């Protein structure tokens, strides 16, 4: 009954519904739903590691971009500012890795010239590499609640 109450109050007829109409997706307050993820963008600035810790306190992780469509959506959030994302250089292998453990898909994001010391990634229209100690805004992601 409680879930039915939540569905009635939080799930519009068309918005947030899955294609088979059996569930709807809900994000916490101040989070934005897009496809199968909830996104939260900071107003403050922190280092890459501090940003990652902040996402953890929100039961989420730094943004992992899956495809071009998601990149386009993120650009609508970030506008003209730089935001940390969950991508960093694994120095032992000299490979750019997402925090999920997957390697950067260079067909989606061609790897730009790497400058020594820039081993964390941010986004501003495209992926850019920065020193991890640089203070930037950040974007967290998590899965939605399914009702």
- Exposure string of 106-117, with b = 16+ CB inside 10 Å and e = fewer, is eeebeeeeeeee
pLDDT tens digit string along 53-111? 999 999 999 999 999 899 889 998 898 899 999 999 887 777 889 999 998 888 777 76
Three-class secondary structure of residue 14 per DSSP: coil
- Quote the CA–CA distance of 40 and 56 in Å, as a whole number: 12
The pairing of beta strand 95-98 with beta strand 120-124: unpaired
Residue 123 has pLDDT above 60, yes or no: yes
Mean pLDDT (the chain, rounded): 86
> What is d(CA 117, CA 135) in angstroms, rounded to the nearest whole number?
15
> Parallel, antiparallel, or unpaired for β 83-90 and 137-142?
parallel
Tokens of 85: 């994302």
Per the structure, how many domains does the chain have? 1
Boundaries of domain holding 124: 2-146
Q: Would you state the structure tokens that stand for residue 101, as one six-digit string?
A: 């453990």
Supply the CATH number for residue 110's domain: 3.10.100.10
């Amino acid at each position: 009954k409680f879930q039915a109450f939540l569905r009635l109050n939080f799930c519009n007829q068309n918005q947030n519904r899955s294609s088979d109409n059996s569930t709807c997706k809900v994000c916490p307050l101040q989070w934005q739903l897009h496809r199968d993820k909830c996104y939260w963008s900071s107003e403050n600035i922190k280092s890459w590691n501090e940003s990652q810790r902040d996402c953890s306190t929100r039961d989420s992780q730094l943004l992992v971009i899956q495809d071009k469509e998601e990149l386009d959506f993120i650009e609508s959030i970030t506008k003209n500012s730089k935001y940390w994302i969950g991508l960093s250089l694994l120095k032992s292998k000299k490979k750019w890795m997402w925090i999920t453990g997957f390697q950067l898909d260079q067909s989606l994001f061609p790897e730009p010239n790497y400058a020594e010391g820039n081993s964390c990634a941010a986004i501003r229209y495209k992926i850019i590499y920065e020193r991890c100690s640089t203070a930037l805004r950040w974007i967290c992601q998590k899965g939605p609640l399914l009702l």
